[in-house]
Structure 1
């Protein structure tokens, strides 16, 4: 026995026989869906668009001391970090408490576990943070209050920025501590080297004056020449005075602060001290400047995101699309009604064949 074939055109007689049932079902679906659609509150959508920045370029220590500049993000790690912060529970809970969303959602009092979970779930379902095709972050929030939706979006952006800044704040504190340690160390070394210079000058008579060695050699040569002339002339008293003068110029125990023996012994040591003193002085000046700049900058805040578009109250609703709800309900009801009566007709046909 050949099987029966069916076609869409063959459904028309079936629909015609059950037209009152189909029309009743479609009419009921139309009325119910229209009532439900009219009772549904309007939902508004607010969106903010922003770019994350590289945290290395927003670190005030680098900007002040190294002359850096802000660089927009686009790196995957920057985008992922911002999205993770925005979807984190602490940020969500902070927004919920700030705007008293427990009362707004009607889930109960804050502090109750069930109410807190319900408010968090409702908040998360209305929040959407995505990375768009232009490497920007779009943060969208849905709510029945269009003004509240815009305020929540802007507050979310501020919270993300604040948390993102905290990621580098601890490191900035450590950097400031290192600057302070380096400055203190160089100040101690500077004072120690300066004291060593004073002691060396007193001991060796090397004061770093211009042409110091030349004048010493000239004085020794002239004194020695005068001594030889006095000895040749037989002037013993003058020769004795010149010998004492020459001894004072050449021997450390001769009485002169500036003498050849001390100058020769201390020259190399004093040159080393002078070089170290100048090096420490240069490093200390830079360390003080770095510390002052870092100390000043750590008290300031530089945004870690670049906001392209702030959230504003929506001018039209995002949902519900009432005509679509009614139309889809009617079409779905009609389809189910046709399927039901078709199966019913097939069932009756099979029963008649068996009988």
Structure 2
């Protein structure tokens, strides 16, 4: 025999309490309908973006590789962006920018209760989700559809800015190193330039066109004239003059600015310093180019996020779903009523007397 309180025996029980169940259902229907109508409409604005690898947005690498940007996102890039987006500094910055204390009617900032309330409301309305297509969906809910869209887009920009700032400090250090290197090379270049000038003055090597040929030609000419004068019986004064001219062209101690001895002594030194100066000039030009590239890289702002879809004002509300609230409230009320009726009937049912031992 079926138990009195089995499912088959429940119908007579419900029939007996039908007026109470109907009243409870109608009351739940009326109350939930009023409550759902009093709830404000909330609108959701969603921005979809893909984070990038920091190496892919490095201006130096980008220029070197022909300006190609790879939108592929790694797991660590996605985790980094999600961490930034869910951080308290980001939330506090957006709360300050959009004056959400006033919007949420929480009072003035600085009060712990008001601060906690606004932060809770903000985080409860925010959703950051990594979807199955390796993109991030940033959704913000608010009663003001325009505010929800603006706040979502601003948050995407703030995440992008913080993500870029993670590498800015290292770029500043690299820029300082390159500036120091360029300054050192420039100073060395100027010092070498002064040393070459001193060597040219000392040895009489000015790099004039055909300077060596001129000395060799003059030495040959004067020496030939001396030999000819000596062989032809020229006067002693003429021979002595030619000998002094020959010594002036060949010996440094005579004081001639152009002479073979000084030229031979200084040629190697001047050529070595010229080689060093050319090397310094090339290195300095390279360092200057690297410094300018690093400076441009530091000042440039290549987005670290690829925006697939900016947040737009919603065209329909996201919540509340009023019919679902009413239906759920009525179902829960009826379910609890049935349980309560069952408990009451169980307590009211007669109990058999305990048998004597």
Counterpart in 2 of 1:314?
Answer: 314
SS of the counterpart of 2:257? coil
Instruction: Measure how far apart 1:123 and its partner are.
Output: 0.5
Structure 1 portions without partners, runs of 5+: none
SS of the counterpart of 1:192? helix
Counterpart in 2 of 1:241?
Answer: 241
Measured in 1, the distance between the counterparts of 2:57 and 2:170 equals 13
The answer on 1:32 being equivalent to 2:23 is no
Deviations 1:175-224 (A, max 9, x none): 33223222221221111011011011111223334554455344434433
Instruction: Measure how far apart 1:14 and its partner are.
Output: 2.6
Measured in 2, the distance between the counterparts of 1:238 and 1:54 equals 87
327-336 or 59-68: which moved more?
59-68
Residues 152 and 72 from structure 1, CA distance in 2 versus in 1: closer, same or farther, beyond 3 angstroms? same
Which aligned pairs between 1:235-274 and structure 2 lie closer than 5 A?
235=234, 236-274=236-274
Measured in 2, the distance between the counterparts of 1:241 and 1:78 equals 88
Q: What is the aligned-residue RMSD (CA, Å)?
A: 2.8
Instruction: Measure how far apart 1:126 and its partner are.
Output: 0.5
Instruction: Measure how far apart 1:300 and its partner are.
Output: 4.4
The answer on 1:100 being equivalent to 2:99 is yes
Residues 284 and 97 from structure 1, CA distance in 2 versus in 1: closer, same or farther, beyond 3 angstroms? same
Counterpart in 1 of 2:113?
Answer: 114
Structure 2 portions without partners, runs of 5+: none
TM-score (norm 2): 0.87
Instruction: Measure how far apart 1:275 and its partner are.
Output: 0.8
Counterpart in 2 of 1:77?
Answer: 76
Measured in 2, the distance between the counterparts of 1:258 and 1:6 equals 130
Measured in 1, the distance between the counterparts of 2:75 and 2:262 equals 68
Instruction: Measure how far apart 1:7 and its partner are.
Output: 4.9
Deviations 1:206-254 (A, max 9, x none): 3334554455344434433433333232324443233222212221123
SS of the counterpart of 1:352? coil
Residues 308 and 97 from structure 1, CA distance in 2 versus in 1: closer, same or farther, beyond 3 angstroms? same
Counterpart in 1 of 2:17?
Answer: 18
Residues 257 and 57 from structure 1, CA distance in 2 versus in 1: closer, same or farther, beyond 3 angstroms? farther
SS of the counterpart of 1:108? coil
Equivalent residues of 2:3, 2:9 under 8 A apart: no
Counterpart in 1 of 2:301?
Answer: 301
Equivalent residues of 1:51, 1:72 under 8 A apart: yes
SS of the counterpart of 2:351? helix
TM-score (norm 1): 0.88
Counterpart in 2 of 1:43?
Answer: 42
